[in-house]
C-alpha cells in the first residue's frame, strides 16, 4: 500500500500446514513494515526482512533475520524481524541503523519431520546469555556504497546470535535425550565486496565474530570468509542464453570445531538464463569438503508456464557424508521441492 506523502506499508503473510510435522505447521508475517521516506532518509517500523551479502554458496554476513530452517535446507527463507530501521542516503553512500527489540527463535523439526538430526531439539529448554532472553535489544549498523567497479558493505552487529549452539544435552519431559539450544550474545564485524570487470564478478564475504561457542560448547572467537568469482558467457552458443560459471572457497578458522558445515569447502556451479519469453532460469552446483569425502549437490530452477503461473524446483542431495561430519545425520536424506505460484 502506498500513499502520496511518501509513506508505504508492505505486508507479506505466510502460512504452511504440514500433515506430518506439527512444528512445520506455522504462520508468520515475513514483512509488516511501515516506511516513511520524506527526503534522503527513511525510517521503517514493524516486521522487516533484510539481506546482506554477495556470494552464492552461502550467505555468511547475513545476520538480521532468523532462518526458517524447516522450509528447506538452502537457508533462503527467513522469519520477519521486529525492527526500527533508519536509513540515510547521500553522495558518500548509504548508512543503515537497526534497533531490534525482540528476538525470534529458530524452529526445528519434530520427531516425524525431516530434515533433522538423530537427536531432537527441545526448544522448551532454550537458554540465553542475556537475562532479558528474547527481549534483549539487538543493534546493527551498515555502510554501503559503490566506488567505480566496486560494490562494498561494512557492517557491525551486536545482539543475540541467530544460530543456536547445539552442544548441550538434556532430557525432555518424557525422559528422551535431547539437544538444548543456547543463544549467545555476539559481536560480529563483517565486510562484503564485489568487483565487476566485463564478464567477471569477483566476490568476497568476511566476518570476525566474538562470543559464540564452538561445537564442543566452548566460547571461541573466530574469523570466516567465502570468496570466489563468476564468469558470464553472454549469448552463449550463438543463442539468447547467458551462462555463468561460478567457483568459491569457504573457510572457518574453527575448522572441525566449527558449528558451520561449510568450514573448509569449495563450490563449483553454473547459472543459466535462457532470456526467453518464459524467463527460464537455473542454478546448479557442487559443494565439496576439502578434508573429507562429504559433498552436496543442489539445483534451483524456475520457469513461467503462463502469464499467471510460475513453476520452480529446489533439489538438494547429500552424498558420501562422513560419519564424523556435522552433516552425518543427513547422510540418508535428500530434499526435493516443487512449487507452483499463481500471480493475480
Whether 261 contacts 275, CB under 8 Å: no
Enter the pTM of the model. 0.92
- What are the tens digits of pLDDT across the range 28-45? 999 999 999 998 999 999
Predicted local confidence at residue 327, as pLDDT: 86
Residue 166 buriedness (CB in 10 A; 0-12 / 13-18 / 19+): buried
The three three-digit cell numbers of residue 57, written as one number: 554458496
Predicted local confidence at residue 331, as pLDDT: 84
Q: Is the pLDDT of residue 115 over 90?
A: no
Pairing of strands 150-160, 41-48: unpaired
- Average pLDDT value for residue range 86-95: 95
Whether 265 contacts 289, CB under 8 Å: yes
- Average pLDDT value for residue range 1-9: 92
- What are the tens digits of pLDDT across the range 118-152? 899 999 999 999 999 999 999 999 999 999 999 99
Residue 263 buriedness (CB in 10 A; 0-12 / 13-18 / 19+): buried
Per the prediction, the chain carries an average pLDDT of 94
Predicted local confidence at residue 12, as pLDDT: 96
The three three-digit cell numbers of residue 77, written as one number: 527463507
Predicted local confidence at residue 224, as pLDDT: 97
- Where residue 340 falls among pLDDT bands split at 50, 70, 90? very high
Residue 132: alpha-carbon gap to chain centroid: 26
> At 125, phi and psi to the nearest 5?
-110, 20
The three three-digit cell numbers of residue 193, written as one number: 565486496
Q: How many CB atoms lie within 10 A of CB 63?
A: 24
- What are the tens digits of pLDDT across the range 166-190? 989 999 988 899 999 999 999 999 9
- 3-class DSSP state of 329: helix
Residue 83 buriedness (CB in 10 A; 0-12 / 13-18 / 19+): buried
Predicted local confidence at residue 65, as pLDDT: 97
Predicted local confidence at residue 320, as pLDDT: 87
- Where residue 242 falls among pLDDT bands split at 50, 70, 90? very high
Amino acid at each position: 500500500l502506498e500513499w502520496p506523502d511518501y509513506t508505504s506499508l508492505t505486508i507479506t503473510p505466510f502460512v504452511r500446514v504440514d500433515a506430518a510435522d506439527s512444528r512445520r505447521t506455522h504462520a508468520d508475517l515475513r514483512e509488516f513494515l511501515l516506511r516513511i521516506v520524506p527526503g534522503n532518509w527513511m525510517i521503517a517500523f514493524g516486521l522487516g526482512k533484510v539481506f546482506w551479502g554477495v556470494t552464492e554458496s552461502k550467505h555468511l554476513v547475513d545476520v538480521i533475520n532468523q532462518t526458517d530452517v524447516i522450509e528447506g535446507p538452502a537457508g533462503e527463507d527467513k522469519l520477519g524481524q521486529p525492527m526500527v530501521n533508519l536509513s540515510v542516503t547521500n553522495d558518500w553512500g548509504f548508512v543503515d541503523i537497526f534497533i531490534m527489540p525482540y528476538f525470534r527463535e529458530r524452529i526445528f523439526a519434530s520427531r516425524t519431520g525431516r530434515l533433522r538430526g538423530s537427536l531432537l531439539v527441545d526448544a522448551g529448554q532454550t537458554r540465553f546469555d542475556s537475562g532479558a532472553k528474547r527481549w534483549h535489544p539487538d543493534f546493527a549498523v551498515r555502510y554501503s556504497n559503490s566506488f567505480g567497479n566496486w560494490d562494498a558493505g561494512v557492517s557491525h552487529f551486536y545482539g543475540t546470535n541467530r544460530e543456536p549452539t547445539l552442544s548441550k544435552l538434556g532430557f525432555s519431559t518424557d525422559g528422551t535425550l535431547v539437544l538444548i539450544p543456547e543463544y549467545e550474545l555476539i559481536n560480529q564485524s563483517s565486510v562484503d565486496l564485489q568487483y565487476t570487470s566485463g564478464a567477471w564478478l569477483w566476490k568476497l564475504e568476511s566476518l570476525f565474530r566474538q562470543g559464540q561457542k564452538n561445537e564442543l560448547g566452548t566460547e571461541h572467537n573466530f574469523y570466516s570468509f567465502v570468496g570466489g568469482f563468476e564468469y558470464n558467457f553472454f549469448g552463449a552458443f550463438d543463442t539468447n542464453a547467458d551462462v555463468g560459471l561460478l567457483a568459491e572457497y569457504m573457510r572457518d578458522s574453527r575448522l572441525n570445531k566449527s558449528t558451520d558445515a561449510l568450514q573448509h569447502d569449495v563450490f563449483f556451479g553454473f547459472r543459466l538464463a535462457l532470456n526467453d519469453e518464459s524467463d527460464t532460469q537455473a542454478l546448479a552446483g557442487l559443494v565439496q569438503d576439502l578434508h573429507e569425502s562429504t559433498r552436496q549437490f543442489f539445483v534451483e530452477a524456475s520457469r513461467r508456464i503462463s502469464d499467471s503461473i510460475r513453476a520452480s524446483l529446489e533439489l538438494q542431495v547429500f552424498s558420501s557424508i562422513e560419519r564424523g561430519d556435522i552433516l552425518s545425520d543427513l547422510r540418508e536424506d535428500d530434499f526435493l521441492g516443487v512449487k507452483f505460484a499463481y500471480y493475480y
